[in-house]
Chains A and B, each alone.
Chain A
Amino acid sequence: MDTWFSYRLSDFILFSERVYWRLFDQVNDLAGAFLTVLIALGCLLLVGVWSRHRAVRNATAMLLGAFWVSSAILFLWFYYTPVNWAARYAVPFFFLEAGLLILLSFTGQLSRSLHKNDVKGWLGFVLLAYAVVIHPFTSLMFGRTLASAEIVGLAPDATAMATLGVVLVTATTRALYLLLPIPVLALTLSGLTLHALGTAEAWVIPVALLVTVAALASPKLPVDTGNTTTAKAED
Chain B
Amino acid sequence: MTDNELTISRRRLLQQSLAVAGASLVPLGGWPEAQSVVRSRPIPSSGEAMPIVGLGTWITFNVGNDTKLLNESAAVMAAFFEAGGQMIDSSPMYGSSQDTLGFGLDKLGDSTPVFSADKVWTSNPDNGASQIETSEQRWGVPRFDLLQVHNLVAWEPHLRLLQHMKAEGEVRYIGITTSESRRHDEFERIMREHPLDFIQVSYNILNRDIEERILPLAMDKGIAVIANRPFQQKQLIHRFEGKPLPSWANEFEAASWAQFLLKYVISHPAITCAIPATTRVDHVRENMACAAGPLPDADQRERMAAYVRSL
Are A16 and B95 CB-contacts (below 8 A) given A6-B180, A83-B64? no
Q: Is the CB of A22 within 8 A of B66?
A: yes
Within 8 Å by CB of B279, from A3, A18, A79, lies A18
Q: Is the CB of A15 within 8 A of B65?
A: no
A15 cross-chain contacts in B, Cβ below 8 A: 59, 62-64, 95
Total of A-B residue pairs, C-beta within 8 Å: 54
Q: How far is the CA of A79 from the CA of B60 in the complex (A)?
A: 16
Q: How far is the CA of A22 from the CA of B62 in the complex (A)?
A: 12
Interface centre among B62, B182, B183, B233 (most CB of A within 10 A): B62
Q: How far is the CA of A85 from the CA of B60 in the complex (A)?
A: 16
Does B69 touch A at the CB level, under 8 Å?
yes
Does B96 touch A at the CB level, under 8 Å?
yes
Q: How far is the CA of A6 from the CA of B95 in the complex (A)?
A: 22
Does A230 touch B at the CB level, under 8 Å?
no
Are A82 and B59 CB-contacts (below 8 A) given A6-B180, A19-B66? no
B68 cross-chain contacts in A, Cβ below 8 A: 22
Q: Is the CB of A19 within 8 A of B69?
A: yes
B108 cross-chain contacts in A, Cβ below 8 A: none
Summarize B's interface: helix, strand, loop or mixed.
loop
Within 8 Å by CB of B96, from A3, A10, A18, A82, lies A82
Q: How far is the CA of A15 from the CA of B58 in the complex (A)?
A: 8
Interface centre among A16, A18, A83 (most CB of B within 10 A): A83
Near A by CB (< 8 A), chain B positions 235-276 give none
Q: Is the CB of B60 within 8 A of A78?
A: no
Q: How far is the CA of A94 from the CA of B63 in the complex (A)?
A: 24
Does B93 touch A at the CB level, under 8 Å?
yes
Q: Is the CB of B182 within 8 A of A14?
A: no
Are A82 and B95 CB-contacts (below 8 A) given A16-B60, A26-B66? yes
A78 cross-chain contacts in B, Cβ below 8 A: 65
Q: How far is the CA of A26 from the CA of B64 in the complex (A)?
A: 11
Q: How far is the CA of A85 from the CA of B96 in the complex (A)?
A: 9
Does B307 touch A at the CB level, under 8 Å?
no
Does A51 touch B at the CB level, under 8 Å?
no
A209 cross-chain contacts in B, Cβ below 8 A: none
Q: Is the CB of B66 within 8 A of A14?
A: no
Chain B interfacial residues counted at CB < 8 A:
21
A80 cross-chain contacts in B, Cβ below 8 A: 64
Task: Find the A residue at minimum CB distance from B179.
Answer: A11
Binary contact track A176-200/B, C-beta < 8 Å → 1, others 0: 0000000000000000000000000
Near B by CB (< 8 A), chain A positions 53-94 give 78-80, 82-85
Does A23 touch B at the CB level, under 8 Å?
yes
Task: Find the B residue at minimum CB distance from A19.
Answer: B63
Q: Is the CB of A16 within 8 A of B96?
A: no
Within 8 Å by CB of A85, from B95, B99, B183, lies B95
Q: Is the CB of A19 within 8 A of B182?
A: no
Q: How far is the CA of A82 from the CA of B94 in the complex (A)?
A: 10
Nearest chain A CB to B149's CB is how many angstroms away? 15
Within 8 Å by CB of A22, from B69, B94, B183, lies B69
Q: Is the CB of A84 within 8 A of B95?
A: yes
Are A79 and B94 CB-contacts (below 8 A) given A16-B279, A19-B69, A22-B69? no
Nearest chain A CB to B96's CB is how many angstroms away? 5
Nearest chain B CB to A229's CB is how many angstroms away? 45
Q: Is the CB of A14 within 8 A of B62?
A: yes
Q: Is the CB of B64 within 8 A of A19?
A: yes
Within 8 Å by CB of B65, from A13, A14, A16, A26, lies A26
Interface centre among B63, B181, B182, B279 (most CB of A within 10 A): B63
Near A by CB (< 8 A), chain B positions 44-103 give 58-60, 62-66, 68-69, 93-96, 99
Q: Is the CB of B93 within 8 A of A6?
A: no
Q: Is the CB of B59 within 8 A of A16?
A: yes
Q: Is the CB of B59 within 8 A of A14?
A: yes
Q: Is the CB of A14 within 8 A of B64?
A: no
Are A3 and B182 CB-contacts (below 8 A) given A14-B93, A83-B95, A83-B96? yes
Please give the residue numbers on chain B whose beta carbons come within 8 Å of chain A beta carbons, in ascending order. 58-60, 62-66, 68-69, 93-96, 99, 180-183, 233, 279
Please give the residue numbers on chain A whose beta carbons come within 8 Å of chain B beta carbons, in ascending order. 3, 6, 10-11, 13-16, 18-19, 22-23, 26, 78-80, 82-85
Known pairs A16-B60, A19-B63, A83-B62 / 4 extra A-B pairs, C-beta < 8 Å: A13-B59, A15-B63, A19-B64, A82-B65
